[in-house]
Amino acid sequence: MIYLDNAATTKMRKECLEEIEKFSVECFYNPSALYKPALEAAKSLKEARRTLLELLGDTNGGLIFTASGTEADNLALFCALKRKSGKIVVSEGEHAAVYNSALELRNRGYNVVCAPVKEDGGVDMGTLEGLIDAETDLVSVMHVSNETGAVNPLSEIAGIIKRKSPHALFHSDGVQAFGKIPFNIKDLGVDMYSISGHKLHGPKGVGALYVKAGVNLKPVIYGGGQEGGVRSATENLAYIMAMKRAAELAYQNFEKRTAKLKALKGLYFDLLTKSIDNIKLISSKEGAPHILTAAFYDVRGEVLLHALEKHGILVGIGSACSSKKHSRFERLLNLPEKWREGIVRISLSEDNNEEEAGFVVEKIKEEYELLKSIGRI
């Protein structure tokens, strides 16, 4: 099996499984209890929080552990302090966790406006800047597009916000960036930043929201006061420790790892361009090193996906959270109708290699030509 849908989820590392077993069976104690083994569990929780903050680049910030990147996004949008008379600005290309949260805030009476995306899936900076004004209370723009790998210039956006609405909070969904591209969160200028365990070879069911020092959030779950009182509940220590381990592994030999992914993406980019007619590469070589999205003329991406599956090749057609109804993003790219439904996303991990690439592109070409010959399905 050749798995090329790593933007949807990744294979968990065995080291993470070992952490889950250790903190589920041996060190299973509640970190809020007062006896010695529980105090050791609390120490491990503190260590995990500090390690992740170190990897992000700001040990003075806070980190709220959640059950997913989606929950982290929801915390940022719903719990950030904002006025109904103020403005909330988001990118139209946001993951459903942000975009649908913004729509719900609009339903609740908030003034929500959306900035369009460019042809590569990155936010249109000119329009975004025009939307941000003195009335803006919250801005949310993802760091790396989960659909195309486009990298948004967060530090530039932060500068615009600081100049035009200094009181506004800036959130970014960093799920496809953390562990994938180099950055220091202090340099990004964000107030909140979401991460997820299963996008970097950790377990599903765990994520976190970075919160800059001095930023206050309203509680979303009331109870024992865990996670700074914002999200009360006994912490899922086993999964938190597994996510911490996954992040540590992701940042080991980071430059070498990302260079390998960049070279592999470049190889796919070149092979697809040379081998297949009637293909549009939506992603750019300058985007995140693990995502390459293409559109095929007059063939449905879902049909091509299933055609490749019989060869043991698994690809995506966009965000797994909206793959059954992903037409919103198709429309945003302004593709002509004959290209619009032919989007296929190849997303890589270090488990992939150059030897696979030739076979994969050969089968894509073979199945695409076959589908074209028999007509649109």
Indicate which residues carry an active-site annotation. 321
Nearest residue to 4 (alpha-carbon basis) of 245, 352, 299: 352
Name the burial class of residue 229, with classes exposed (0-12), middle (13-18) and buried (19+) by CB atoms within 10 angstroms of its CB: middle
Q: In which residue are the tokens 């992740």 written?
A: 52
Task: State how far the Cα of 363 lies from the Cα of 369, in Å rounded to an integer.
Answer: 10
Beta strands in the chain (DSSP E): 2-3, 62-66, 87-91, 111-115, 136-140, 169-173, 192-196, 207-211, 279-281, 291-296, 313-314, 343-347
What is the crossing angle of helices 36-56 and 237-250, to 10°?
A: 30
Task: State how far the Cα of 145 lies from the Cα of 158, in Å rounded to an integer.
Answer: 18
Task: State how far the Cα of 192 lies from the Cα of 215, in Å rounded to an integer.
Answer: 8
Given phi > 0 = left and psi -120 to 50 = alpha, else beta, which region is 127? alpha
Question: The dihedral of CA 18, 21, 22, 23: what is its sign?
Answer: positive
Please report, as a single letter, which amino acid is at residue 162.
Answer: K
